[in-house]
């Protein structure tokens, strides 16, 4: 009788982030962590806990409350040979350092003809759901995806959180790793060894034959829940987790649409001007003749994120809204 295989080790999303950072620090002697409250406090959500004790104050240090200064530190350090991990506590705060991100981090390698490399990894928290109100709950990935020179990834599982952080830190280009605060307790299998998740490669998390749902970040889980509901209506939905927004795996999207002939893009960010518009445009440019219906989009309403838990729950897209939009699109 064959021996039972041991169950894979599981970690919460927050611990997978910690393990990803620790792995980078172990592998790369020129890596360091800098940001507000990352050292003594271990970060606002605790995912740097233990990093200071293991690697010391020369490699893990708190900064003043100045996002522009923190990112500027990362730019300068990277240009002179270091591989910094920079923490921007909330994605909303990128407005405070957008000049450094847009005009320095994204452009310096190009402007120096490739002679300067900028291996900067920025970790930042996005997303609503914790009643943190309009200035601490936004999803602004469309901002940074519009900047040539940056890579942008979003992790929806503990496995991807660890693997994408390691991939980002090994890249010689600046990579922004967008994490989700409402996923911190999410459990999932995470190998103990070092591994990478390819940047620029989407993941088909559910195969299907007659409908495609494209998503990223926390909304992947809502898309999967919606696919289960749609199955009862005779709709066999394929769910794609983009994982990497910049570069975008257009081939995976087009391959799915050619198979299913219908598509929907789902994201937590405001629908108007959101990343879903780019995905929709690429589908109509690359796979228009395969479509049996217009591409549907689900996103948040055009409003700041409300503080009220009741209003916030209405604001954030969920599985029921995805199902309702699919039914509308298909005339069910």
Q: What is the CATH number of the domain that holds 234?
A: 3.40.50.920
Q: Is 227 in the same domain as 185? A: no
40 is catalytic: no
pLDDT in tens, the chain (332 residues): 566 677 889 999 999 999 999 999 999 999 999 999 999 999 999 999 999 999 999 999 999 999 999 999 999 999 999 999 999 999 999 999 999 999 999 999 999 998 999 999 999 999 999 999 999 999 999 999 999 999 999 999 999 999 999 999 999 999 999 999 999 999 999 999 999 999 999 999 999 999 999 999 999 999 999 999 999 999 999 999 999 999 999 999 999 999 999 999 999 999 999 999 999 999 999 999 999 999 999 999 999 999 999 999 999 999 999 999 999 998 88
Domains contained in the chain, number: 2
**Which residue segment(s) compose the domain that 157 sits in?**
10-189
Cα distances from 86 to residues 31, 36, 115, 282, 311, in angstroms, run 10, 9, 22, 32, 33
C-alpha 102/C-alpha 116 separation (Å) is 16
Does residue 194 lie in a domain region? no
* pTM score above 0.85: yes
- Are both 272 and 179 inside the same structural domain? no
Question: Are 137 and 284 in the same domain?
Answer: no
Whether residue 216 is found in the same domain as residue 183: no
Of 139, 161, 189, at which residue does a domain stop? 189
Determine the Cα–Cα distance for residues 57 and 55; give it in Å rounded to an integer.
Answer: 7
261 in catalytic set = no
User: Among 19, 36, 67, 312, which one carries the catalytic annotation?
Assistant: 67
In a domain, 3, yes or no: no
- Residue-by-residue DSSP string for 33-71: EEETT-SSS--TTSTTTTHHHHH-TTTEEE--S-HHHHH
- List the structure tokens of 128: 């609503």
Taking the CA atoms of residue 152, residue 57, residue 31 and residue 242 in that order, the dihedral angle to the nearest 10 degrees is -20
Question: Would you say residue 2 lies in a domain?
Answer: no
Of these residues, 136, 141, 238, 278, which one is catalytic? 136
Same structural domain, 318 and 252: yes
């Amino acid at each position: 009788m064959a021996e039972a295989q041991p169950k894979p080790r599981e970690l919460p999303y927050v611990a997978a982030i910690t393990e990803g950072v620790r792995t980078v620090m172990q592998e790369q002697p020129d890596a360091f962590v800098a940001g507000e409250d990352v050292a003594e406090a271990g970060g606002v959500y605790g995912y740097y806990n233990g990093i200071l004790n293991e690697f010391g104050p020369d490699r893990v240090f708190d900064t003043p409350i100045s996002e522009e200064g923190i990112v500027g530190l990362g730019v300068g350090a990277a240009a002179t040979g270091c591989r910094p991990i920079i923490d921007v506590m909330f994605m909303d705060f990128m407005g405070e350092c957008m000049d450094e991100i847009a005009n320095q981090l994204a452009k310096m390698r190009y402007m120096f003809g490739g002679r300067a490399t900028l291996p900067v990894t920025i970790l930042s928290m996005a997303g609503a759901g914790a009643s943190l109100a309009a200035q601490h709950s936004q999803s602004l990935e469309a901002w940074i995806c519009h900047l040539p020179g940056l890579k942008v990834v979003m992790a929806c599982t503990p496995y991807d959180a660890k693997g994408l952080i390691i991939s980002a830190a090994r890249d010689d280009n600046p990579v922004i790793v967008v994490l989700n605060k409402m996923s911190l307790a999410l459990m999932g299998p995470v190998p103990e060894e070092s591994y990478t998740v390819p940047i620029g490669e989407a993941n088909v998390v559910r195969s299907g034959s007659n409908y495609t749902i494209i998503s990223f970040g926390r909304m992947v889980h809502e898309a999967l829940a919606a696919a289960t509901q749609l199955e009862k209506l005779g709709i066999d939905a394929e769910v794609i987790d983009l994982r990497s927004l910049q570069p975008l795996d257009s081939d995976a999207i087009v391959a799915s649409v050619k198979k299913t002939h219908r598509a929907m893009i789902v994201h937590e960010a405001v629908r108007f001007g959101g990343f879903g518009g780019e995905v929709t445009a690429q589908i109509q440019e690359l796979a228009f003749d395969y479509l049996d219906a217009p591409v549907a989009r689900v996103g948040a309403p055009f409003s700041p994120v409300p503080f009220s838990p009741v209003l916030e729950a209405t604001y954030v897209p969920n599985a029921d809204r995805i199902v309702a939009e699919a039914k509308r699109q298909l005339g069910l």
